[in-house]
Amino acid sequence: MAEPLLELRNLRKAYGALVVTDDVSLSVRPGELHAIIGPNGAGKTTLIHQISGTLASNSGSVLFGGEDVTQLSMPQRVRRGLARSFQITSILPGFSALENVALAVQARSGSSFRLFGQASQEKALNEPAMECLAQVNLAARAHVPAGLLSHGEKRQLELAIGLATAPRLLLLDEPLAGTGHEESQRVVETLRRLKERLTIVLIEHDMDAVFSLADRVSVLVYGRVIATDTPARIRENPEVRAAYLGEEEMV
């Protein structure tokens, strides 16, 4: 097996007596799409926060590409290639779709302390940004203010922003949340294309999507990983079935 790209060791986050994630250890291999599923309140989003550096962990460590990044801030982790999306759409509503993505390109190319020159005219920023938009089928909407995009388009835009940071690993927090059937099909197609060339950690409630996309699945229940395996084996795992009983229909 290749060396894992992302490795979590005994991660824990608690708010007082409330333990949200507990002793989470996982390793994500380069190139795989690793899904994390679990019933509501299992601590999935908290885990994403801990991996991305949005939240500090109480204990445990996060290794990315062999480097211990536990003490690094979110921007520092992003610069090492660990990008994330948000469960609740997080974009710059007053900026055009293109500018949203171009800013992410700008973050990794050259100094942002330049006080002169029109940033919106820089080809070196706009062209890669356009490419990212094209990858999520948003090129035609590049000049629309992001706040005016449809919900599905905003989800796509978040993906494009994530791509523009040139990540080695993309953490996706429920990219399908709130999308209609057609929109979600489009996002799934986009993800299928992206997984060809990117390592992805995906949190998702839509089991159809998870089982059609994932290479491996980890199941988080009450903040603990109870199983990590291929989708087929996870589906048969009795413990997982028990955890989900009455929660959601397993495929």
Partner 1 sequence: MTEIAETPSAPMPSLSTRFEIVPIVLFAAFAAAPLLAAYSGAEGYVLSLLTRVMIFGIAAMALDLILGYGALVSFGHAAFLGLGGYAVGILASHGIEDALVQIPVALAASALFALVTGAISLRTKGVYFIMITLAFGQMLYFLATSLAAYGGDDGMTLSSRSLLAGTGVLKNDFTFYWVCLLCLLGAYAFSRSVVASRFGRVLRGTRENSIRMEAIGFQPFRFQLAAYVLSGMLAGLAGCLLANQAEFVSPAFMTWQRSGELIFMVVLGGLGSLHGAVIGAAAFLLLEEFLPEILHSLSFFLSEEARSHLAENWKMVFGPLLILIVLFVRGGIMGLLRRPHHG
Binding site for partner 1 (CB under 8 A): 52, 54, 73-75, 78-79, 83-84, 86, 90-96, 98-99, 103-104, 106-108, 110-123, 126-127, 130-131, 133-134, 139, 142-143, 161, 164-165
Smallest distance from the beta carbon of 125 to partner 1, in angstroms?
A: 8
DSSP letters spanning the chain? -PPPSEEEEEEEEEETTEEEEEEEEEEE-TT-EEEEE-STTSSHHHHHHHHHTSS--SEEEEEETTEE-TT--HHHHHHTTEEE--SS----TTSBHHHHHHHHHHHHSS-S---SS-GGG-HHHHHHHHHHHHHTT-GGGTTSBGGGS-HHHHHHHHHHHHHHT--SEEEEE-TTTT--HHHHHHHHHHHHHHTTTSEEEEE-S-HHHHHHH-SEEEEEETTEEEEEE-HHHHHH-HHHHHHHTTTS---
Q: 165 or 199: whose CB is closer to partner 1?
A: 165
Distance of closest approach, residue 75 Cβ to partner 1, in angstroms: 5
Least distance (Å) from partner 1 to the CB of residue 134?
A: 4
Identity of the residue, 130 or 191, whose beta carbon is nearer to partner 1 in the bound complex: 130
Q: How far is the CB of 115 from partner 1 (least distance, A)?
A: 5
Nearer to partner 1, 41 or 93 (CB): 93
- Residue 55 CB, shortest distance to partner 1, in Å, is 12
Closer of 133 and 207 to partner 1 (Cβ)? 133
Q: Closest CB to partner 1 among 123 and 181?
A: 123
